[in-house]
Structure 1
Amino acid sequence: MARAVVIGAGIGGLTAAVALQRRGWDVTVCERASSLEPVGSGLAVAANALKALDTIGVGDEIRKLSAVQGEGGIRRSDGRWLMRTTAEAASARYGDSVVLLRRADLVDALSARLEPGTVRLGAAVSRADPGSGLVTTDAGELEADLVVAADGIHSPTRAALFPGHPGPRYAGITSWRVLVPGGGLPGQTSESWGAGQVFGVMPLAGGLAYCYGTDTVPAGGGGGDQRAELLRLFGGWHSPIPELLAAASPDAVLRNDVHHLVEPLPAMHRGRVALLGDAAHPMTPNMGQGACQAIEDAVVLAHVASEGTGLAAYTSARLARTARITARSASICRATRLRAPLAVRLRDTMMTLAGRLAPGRVTRAMDEVLGWTPPA
């Protein structure tokens, strides 16, 4: 039986583990944390990722756990709509809409499909040899025919495989994320743009609201009451943003500087080691495709590895696509960072005109991303 070692038990790593086990692999997941409590709060799973999850038997469960995005789009900080779209338009074009759920629910659904003992918690990996597939952990060595490095944005495995690569850079924005109980507004999903700032509201199942904000600030800040910071930044924006922030627990607010890969890697593998998700292509959150691309990576990698065509086929299938999406997300991020009043007015005017003159263009613009289909 072929053996795989997965480094990291995030969404990408767990998806890869499930996909490989379904194809008959003996899989061990090494997770340095002592529990599977997921970092993050809410998550959008788009049509492309749902198709990938269908191939491992998880898609329908995720649809049942989720709230479906209703009317959505982009607004100004005063609430005026700039662009709008609907879940029906996306479903008609791609066969699925975007479903919204807690990150923890997706992690639980994936881990429940793994064979008992697959995940080793508190198992830090110090080295993965691309030639032999030998993985060194603080609890001993593991032999593998395939090593899946899903060890995050600041992946030590990526740095070891490609020591000359510059790695991720600060994208110029810091993000805040929080779940608000009782704040869900069914069917009302929006992202609002101001001068260098963004605030998003996503309704989840069970009356929860997932809220996120970004601001153009220097990296390395933080500390203190982050809910108070959000109220300072967004408390004067349109309803229901101030009300949601007032209802949020200060202890539930997560703050992170956003990093992304400006220069794509030369490959997404080396020898027996394949990079996946944020380890391979960290991106800004502006397209909601970070987790979705990790899920795509996982099912494609399991397919390629099981077909025996070599990991070069994995790089061929994934590198150019993820590089394009990473670059496109970064370009949207740059648009949100505009602060000069004239530049902001011009940006908003162009978005409004695009939405009015070509209303279907908003949906069609996502064809390359959402129209993807997994390997047969």
Structure 2
Amino acid sequence: MSFKGHDIRCVQRRSLLETLAKELPNGTLRFSSKVVSIDESEDHFKRLHLANGAILKTKVLIGCDGVNSVVAKWLGLQNPVFSGRSAIRGNAHFKGGHGFEPKYRQFVGKGVRSGFLPCDDENVYWFFTWTPATKEEEEMEDNPLKLKQLVTSKLKDASDEMKSVIEKTLLDDIISSPLRYRKPWELLWGNISKGNVCVAGDALHPMTPDIGQGGCSAMEDGVVLARCLGEALLKPGVEDGEYERIEMGLKKYGQERKWRSFDLITTAFMVGFIQQHEGKVMSYLRDKFMLRFLSGLLSRKAGFDCGKL
């Protein structure tokens, strides 16, 4: 799907993980290995203590462990904060084909935002964001039946296409989570890296999903991190030890990603605030004048060039 020269691609997480895993040597990945604590040995190696009692020793520690990152906490970064909104996401499978055009559809109004996007000929990704009004709505995260009922009731006036996608979704394919973000100013004076440790992805810049840049920015992190670390380790004429060169590379990575992360977190929060605001004045300005601006803003944020490896 193309928008003003930019493609919108829907990739299922499982497919992405499987593709990345196939590029790694056998035995590289360890699943169900939850990190509970981190400490340091005398030779600068970091030791990861896992929930199953195992200890891993690492020369470079890159924390890509999500919103509840243990590595980010070790670096001194504060926990992400609740935005006041929650999201329900699902995948609808249409055996034999869904028949939708390859277009991204979004609907805004009455304090909610929803939309759907075909992933392929048979699968459609959809989302629904809202501000929980009751304690019950806040606590139904683990009950997919109630989640589906909530979305159906909130979108009773939605298009037939949107309602058909929700109806077709199996309960096992519905998830929900509160939308959290890192306070952007924390990245300006906090530690993105320290010694031979850094964070990337949601561990670095958790943001609300309103501009669709969470996963994309994580890929940017990977490119910049590989470049900075590679240049530091392979730089000719540098007599510093390996640890010092790793530290230098990670520090450069942090400097490069700091302002980009600040920009994305701030923009995502403001776009979400504007799109879901229920006030009459804001709703009027949004619907009459700001939608085109917001669409252009999203394409500009997606057009960022993080450079080459």
The residue that corresponds to 1:341 in the other structure is: 280
Q: CA deviation at 1:259?
A: 0.6
| 1:175 is the counterpart of 2:93 | no
Partner of 1:310: 249
> Bigger shift: 125-134 or 209-218?
125-134
- Secondary structure of 1:159's match? helix
Match of 1:221 in 2: 139
Q: CA deviation at 1:316?
A: 0.9
Q: Which runs of 5+ in 1 are unaligned?
A: 1-68, 70-86, 92-96, 356-360
What amino acid sits opposite 1:147 in the alignment? L
1:106 partnered with 2:16:
yes
The CA distance in 2 between the partners of 1:339 and 1:88, in whole Å, is 27
Cα–Cα, structure 1 residues 215 and 238, in superposed 2: closer, same or farther, change >3 Å?
Answer: same
Residue type of the partner of 1:336?
Q
The amino acid of 1:257's aligned partner reads P
1:264-279 → structure 2 map (5 Å cutoff) = 264-265=186-187, 266-279=190-203
Amino acid at match of 1:106: L
Provide the residue aligned with 1:331 in structure 2: 270
Measure the CA separation in 1 of the matches of 2:11 and 2:267.
24
Give the distance between the partners of 1:216 and 1:155, measured in 2 at CA.
25
For residue 217 of structure 2, what is the amino acid of its counterpart? Q
Question: How has the CA–CA distance of structure 1 residues 331 and 317 changed in structure 2, closer, same or farther, with 3 Å as cutoff?
Answer: same
Pair 1:280-2:204 in alignment: yes
Aligned CA distance change for structure 1 residues 262 and 338 (closer, same or farther; 3 Å): same
Amino acid at match of 1:160: W
Comparing both chains, which one has the higher relative contact order based on Cα–Cα distances under 8 Å and sequence gaps of 6 or more? 1
Q: Please list every run of 5 or more consecutive structure 2 residues that lacks an aligned counterpart in the other structure.
A: 233-247
**Structure 1-normalised TM-score?**
0.69
Is residue 152–residue 279 contact of structure 1 (8 Å, CA) maintained in 2?
A: yes
In structure 1, how many angstroms separate the alpha carbons of the residues matched to 2:221 and 2:39? 21
Match for residue 186 of structure 1? 101
**Are 1:136 and 2:46 counterparts?**
no
Q: Give the TM-score normalised by structure 2.
A: 0.83
Alignment of 1:289-304 (within 5 A): 289-304=213-228
Question: What is the Cα deviation at residue 88 of structure 1?
Answer: 5.7
Paired residue for 2:308? 375
CA separation in 2, counterparts of 1:172 and 1:283?
13
Structure number with bigger Rg = 2
Please tell me the residue identity of whatever aligns with 1:318: R
Compared CA separation, residues 268 and 109, structure 1 to 2 (3 A): same
Give the structure 1 partner of residue 244 of structure 2.
none
- Cα shift at 1:122: 2.4
> Equivalent of 2:160, from 234, 239, 250?
239
Which residue number corresponds to residue 72 of structure 2?
Answer: 158
For residue 364 of structure 1, report the CA deviation from its aligned partner: 6.8
Q: What is residue 146 of structure 1 aligned with on the other side?
A: 60
Q: Secondary structure of 2:10's match?
A: strand
Coordinate RMSD, CA, aligned: 2.2
Between Structure 1 and Structure 2, how many residues are aligned? 278
Take 2:116 and 2:290, find their aligned partners in 1: how far apart are those partners? 20
Deviation (angstroms), 1:215: 0.6
Q: Find the residue that maps to 2:160 and give its secondary structure.
A: coil
CA distance in 1 between counterparts of 2:163 and 2:297 reads 33
Q: What amino acid is aligned across from residue 243 of structure 1 in structure 2?
A: S
Partner secondary structure for residue 126 of structure 1:
strand
Equivalent residue, structure 1, for 2:172: 251
